[in-house]
Amino acid sequence: MKKFLKQYFSIINYSIMGIVFGYAFFYLFINMYHYQDIRRVYNTTVKDEMLVKKVDSRLKLIENNINSFDVNKYHGQLDASRLNLVSANLKTCIKYYNNSTYNDLKKKKSISIIDVYNLREAYENEVLNGCIVKNLYWVSAIEKTDFTSLKSNAVLLSYYFKDILATTNYLKKDLLNNTSYSFSTEIFSKEIKNASKEGFYEVMNAYNSSLNIVEYISNWLKDEAEAGVLND
């Protein structure tokens, strides 16, 4: 009986050790796999990317629009000092768009998940908070101003602002979730979504679409400036 119990416990014990061994083995290797998986980079020359070129050319266009306004030459119907303020707001915006993270990324030839995260953070902190909220959000409350041509689009603009402020929220959650992982990581990365590649395009698309409003206001400023100079 004693021998039987001893053998019985021995079997149970080796079963427990087997389970622990298997689980630890699985855990260790899935961790190693995940360690490697999140280091996957997207190889591309960033400055040659279509979206980057597009954003850069639009920034140049906006800069030219801003430079077309000269407060000393303006003699239009609107208050010149207020237009000058708009011009200053747009100039500040350009600085925020040309932030150091974006400029550093343009020098790179491969994009890691950290680059995407930093670019998204720069988009939120510099572009959305610095440019859109601090310098341009007043456009969505245009009823209080005398800028009539902007006023007609105020409601649409306010929707647009709300939209671009929430564009990359999902991406942020997605990126921060890369601590968790599952069996589907390999298939997910290859077939559905590669976080480094797709994340980069998502943020650059957000950069590009947020430029619509800056470009729209800069075009309006340019038109006003030209009309003001003609009136003179």
Partner 1 sequence: MTKIINVFLLVMKVIFLLISFVITFNIVLRMYDRLDKNYIESISVFLPYFSLFLVFAINLVFKQSQVNNCLFYNVTCCLVLCMLIFCGYRAMYDEYMLLYIRLGNYHINFNYYADMIAPLQVMLYLLTFSNFILMFTGKKEAQKVIAKKID
Q: Write out the residues near partner 1 by the rule CB under 8 A.
A: 6-7, 9-10, 12-14, 16-17, 19-21, 23-25, 27-28, 31-32, 35, 38-39, 112-114, 117, 175-176, 178-180
Q: What tokens appear for 55 in the block? A: 């954003």
Give whichever of 63 and 174 is closer to partner 1, judged by the CB atom.
Answer: 174
d(CA 157, CA 170): 22
110 strand-pairing partners: 43
DSSP, residue by residue, 209-226 = HHHHHHHHHHHHHHHHHH
Residue 17 C-beta: closest distance to partner 1, Å:
5
3-state secondary structure of 191: helix
Residue 208 C-beta: closest distance to partner 1, Å:
23
The residue count for the chain: 232
Residue 121 C-beta: closest distance to partner 1, Å:
9
Give whichever of 174 and 215 is closer to partner 1, judged by the CB atom.
Answer: 174
d(CA 179, CA 210): 29
Residue 25 C-beta: closest distance to partner 1, Å:
6
